[in-house]
Amino acid sequence: MQNIIESHHLTKTFRSYEKNPGLWGAIRSLWYRPYKENHAVDDFNLQVKPGEMLALLGPNGAGKTTIMKMWTGIIVPSKGQVQVIGHDPWKRDKQFRKKIALVMGQKSQLWWDIPALDSFLLLQKYYEISDYDFKQRLEMLSSLLQVQDKLKIHVRKLSLGERMKLELLASFLHSPEIIFLDEPTIGLDLVAQENIRNFLLDYHKLHQCTIVVTSHYMADVEALCKRLVLIIGGTKHFDGPIEQFTQILGKNKIVTFNFSSPMQQSSSLWQDFEPSWNELRTQVALRVPMDQIKAVTVNILNNFPVSEFSTEKLPIERVMKKILENPSLTGPKGPMSL
Amino acid sequence: MKNVGKWIQTIHVWWGQYTAYRLNFFLQVIGPALVFFFVKFSLWTEIYHNMGPDSTIGGFTLNAMLQYHGWALIIAMLTQGHVNFDLSNDIRLGKISTYLIYPFDFWEYHTAGFLAFQTLEWPIAFLTGSILLFFSIIHLPALLPFLGILVLAVFLSFLWFTLQYLAGLVAFWLEETWILRVLFTIVATFLSGAIVPLDLFPKWFSSLLLYTPFPYMLYYPVKVAMGFVTLESKVFFIVAAWTLVFAIINRQVWRRGLRLYTGAGM
């Protein structure tokens, strides 16, 4: 199958100048501007197949958004090749623009001073959607998102969660082949986050479109994407399935045991697994190699008064945090072995 | 046909935005007329009174001067009501990212906004004109020149729009364009004869101005409305040619600017 996104040696360089703080800095900057070149994206290669759900992860300023902007044709690459759905995005053909959608969690695309429905009618014209299709999709999307009663309210009067749902609705109306979501759940409460995740999953199941997501919420990534691309300093540090990502720091899992009484004695049962205790010594977290989990758990359950035990919910979050704290754990050529 | 639908719907959306804030809209409607009466009317009346009865300035009596400024107000409303629109913010704050994604171009979106504004502003200009007529400040020319002036006003409004668009596009290079746009508006207002009639400028200067679009933007249609000059068809060509020149410049500037665009904050 042909790839829907092809990027080879994609590079984007920005020029900015440094200014010292204060009045003197401002005046001095009138004639003295030491320009600095900044490689926001550096030699980035990636192929994406149609129908994939892909997450771009990385710390703030890693270049995720810049890559998205190049894929959607908003900015022109400084170097390298890029093809999306067989088009050069930066040429911005109208045919290309009809096939893509971009949702930005931090920026509203709906017209602020009019009800969302008016914006949707405008988009119907822009994307040349027939009245029949428009009605059907509007019904389908507004019931999936549960916003039927919000369509005629001025956008500026809606809550952030409601507005975000309508932003999504607006972007999906024309059934795009590829959808870029830049932090779609930012600032939303837990229920709203989950609603949006469920919507994306349901929609993807129905339409099999390609979805590219950036997010700082690992729950988003875990729920939505099978494939994960880690970007640090504008270069790719990891590309592969999520399961593989959770194991790049070692094939260990964190297992937590709660005991009904404090455990004073040390035991060889946990001594080898980097135990970390709570203050009362009623809870311990162990790093257990995958292949020993069963044996170790059974052993502890049999020999100690365990009231509860659990394996970690979001291993991806732990791994991500480690990598953000110490980016050198992964290299541009992929994870380094530990 | 599909394209016409896009334009009409966009104009609808712009109407919704222009009229969203009622007080703001109302002030925009009556603002220019109030400024005329409180500033220009009283200023010129005072100047002429101090000079004594029957005095003239550059051949203008008080009544002629008031009529000149009355027509200047109407022509300005018909042609440049839209000048306050601010494209540069869209660029500076990264709002154009949205329009770069839609299959309807940024210039199309803003041109539709301009047309939407004109459809609201023209009835207001007619209303203001009727008030000035009622107080005998201006007098209606014959039907044919009057219609000619209206057609010329349509041409001129496009010229103003392309110029204003260019001033906004500079935001690709300069981060703040407000001063630039204010300067441009003041210079254009002055050179087009909106502050004092061009008759009061030195001869060499006003003949030099004829090589620029400025005299045709206000001074000329006002003189036609007052019956001092007959409307020549070449003026339409001159205005159309200048508009075309600026439209082409805009296109080139847009293309170059877009290469620099970073989509601030996305």
Bridge partner residues of A89 (DSSP)? none
**Which residue is closest to A95 within chain B, CA to CA?**
B103
Domain with CATH 3.40.50.300 in chain A: 50-77+88-245
| A14 CB-near residues (< 8 Å, 6+ apart) | A37, A38, A40, B262
HEC string for A42-64 = EEEEEEECCCCEEEEECCCCCCH
Question: Is the predicted pLDDT of residue B242 greater than 90, yes or no?
Answer: yes
Question: Is the predicted pLDDT of residue B77 greater than 80, yes or no?
Answer: yes
Residues of chain A with Cβ-Cβ distance to B258 below 8 Å are 76
Is the Cβ pair A114, B104 closer than 8 Å? no
Q: Supply the pLDDT for residue B235.
A: 93
Is the Cβ pair A111, B101 closer than 8 Å? no
- Residue B246 token pair: 């600026």
**Which residue is closest to B11 within chain A, CA to CA?**
A122
CA distance to partner chain A, nearest, from residue B6 (Å): 5
Residue A53 contacts residue A220 (beta carbons within 8 Å)? no
Domain with CATH 3.30.70 in chain A: 252-313
B2 touching A (Cβ < 8 Å): yes
- Residue A88 token pair: 């050069």
- Residue B98 token pair: 């949205």
Q: Among residues 87-116 of chain B, which lie with CB inside 8 Å of chain A?
A: 94-95, 97-98, 100-104
Q: What are the pLDDT digits (tens) for A248-291?
A: 777 778 888 888 888 877 777 778 888 888 888 888 888 888 88
**Which residue is closest to A128 within chain B, CA to CA?**
B2
pLDDT average, residue stretch A212-234: 89
pTM of the model: 0.82
Is the Cβ pair A69, B9 closer than 8 Å? no
The type of residue at B89 is N
- Residue B130 token pair: 């009727």
Residue B112 contacts residue B201 (beta carbons within 8 Å)? no
Among A166, A165, A162, A163, which residue's Cα sits nearest to residue A120?
A166
What are the residues of chain A with a beta carbon less than 8 Å away from any beta carbon of chain B?
14, 65, 69, 72-76, 92, 94, 97-98, 100-102, 104, 106-107, 109, 111, 113-114, 118-119, 121-128, 154, 182
Fold (CATH) for A50-77+88-245 = Rossmann fold (3.40.50)
Is the Cβ pair A123, B102 closer than 8 Å? yes
The DSSP bridge pattern shows strands A79-84 and A5-17 to be antiparallel
Nearest CB among B10, B17, B263 relative to A74 is that of B263
Q: Which of B1, B97, B172 to mutate: most A Cβ within 10 Å?
A: B97
Is the Cβ pair B266, A125 closer than 8 Å? no
Residue B161 contacts residue B244 (beta carbons within 8 Å)? no
Among A163, A171, A169, which residue's Cα sits nearest to residue A101?
A171
Question: Is the predicted pLDDT of residue A228 greater than 80, yes or no?
Answer: yes
B261 touching A (Cβ < 8 Å): yes
Nearest CB among A104, A113, A125 relative to B5 is that of A125
B24 touching A (Cβ < 8 Å): no
Q: Does domain A252-313 have CATH number 3.30.870?
A: no
pLDDT average, residue stretch B61-72: 91
Residue A329 contacts residue A336 (beta carbons within 8 Å)? yes
| B229 CB-near residues (< 8 Å, 6+ apart) | B220, B223
- Residue A104 token pair: 């930005």
Per-residue CA distances from A115 to A176, A184, B16, B86 (Å): 23, 21, 9, 23
Phi, psi for A205 (deg, rounded to 5):
-60, -40
Q: What are the pLDDT digits (tens) for B208-222?
A: 998 899 999 999 999
Q: What are the pLDDT digits (tens) for B106-155?
A: 999 999 999 999 998 899 899 889 989 998 889 989 899 999 999 999 99
